[in-house]
Amino acid sequence: MLILSCSQSAQSDLTPLSSLCNSNQESLGLTPRTFLDGILTIHIPNNFYEMSQERIAMKYPDQQRPTVVMTNNDNGTVNVAINHTDHKVSPAEIEDFHRYMEGMFKKKYSSAVWYRSEVLQIGKRKCFVLDLQTPALDTKIRNIMMCTSVNGRILLVTFNTTLELESEWLDRGYCIISSIMINDQP
């Protein structure tokens, strides 16, 4: 098992995500939950529940919908989305995929506010983190995404919250993303 705390970036001038988590997991009401048949463990708020497939289809109209979305309410104002895609990317291709994803977001959301975009080496695993604010229909959304290759396929975990709830949820978002643990051999 590999703990992907995204805190061991020797190359980055950015503050490690784990140090942006200013509280302990328990005080934030975060509990470890396992997903994807044991591949992923992540600390999720106790009161989050799984969004229905119908709601996921409405909230994520693109064809690349998340596999699982854990949410705070029916409006989906705060979410943790998990997507272990069929898109094949080897660990050696993570840097290229990072550039692709960053470029795609910059093209799709030219007005986005960027907080970080970096490739990290955590032990033997490469991952990347994107942290940005994007426009939505009636608000703005803060997105913190972690992406890596698991079993030769992309695993993308995203925390997002509406701008109105960002001050209340951002610290928890960093803690959620920093808590990711991956088991390549479930």
Domain locations in the chain as residue ranges:
2-182
CATH number of 2-182: 3.40.1000.10
Say what the pTM is: 0.86
Write out the two tokens for 4. 């992907």
The pLDDT tens digits along the chain (186 residues) read: 444 444 333 344 545 555 556 656 566 789 999 999 999 999 999 999 999 988 888 888 776 789 899 999 878 899 999 999 999 999 999 999 999 999 999 999 999 999 999 998 877 789 999 999 999 888 999 999 999 999 999 999 999 999 999 999 999 999 999 889 898 754
Q: What amino acid occupies position 40?
A: L
Reduced DSSP (H G I as helix, E B as strand, rest coil) percent helix, strand, coil of the chain, to 5: 25, 40, 35
43 near 53, Cβ under 8 Å? no
Closest CA to 127 of 13, 38, 17, 15: 17
112 near 103, Cβ under 8 Å? no
Q: Which residues pair with 6 in a beta bridge?
A: none
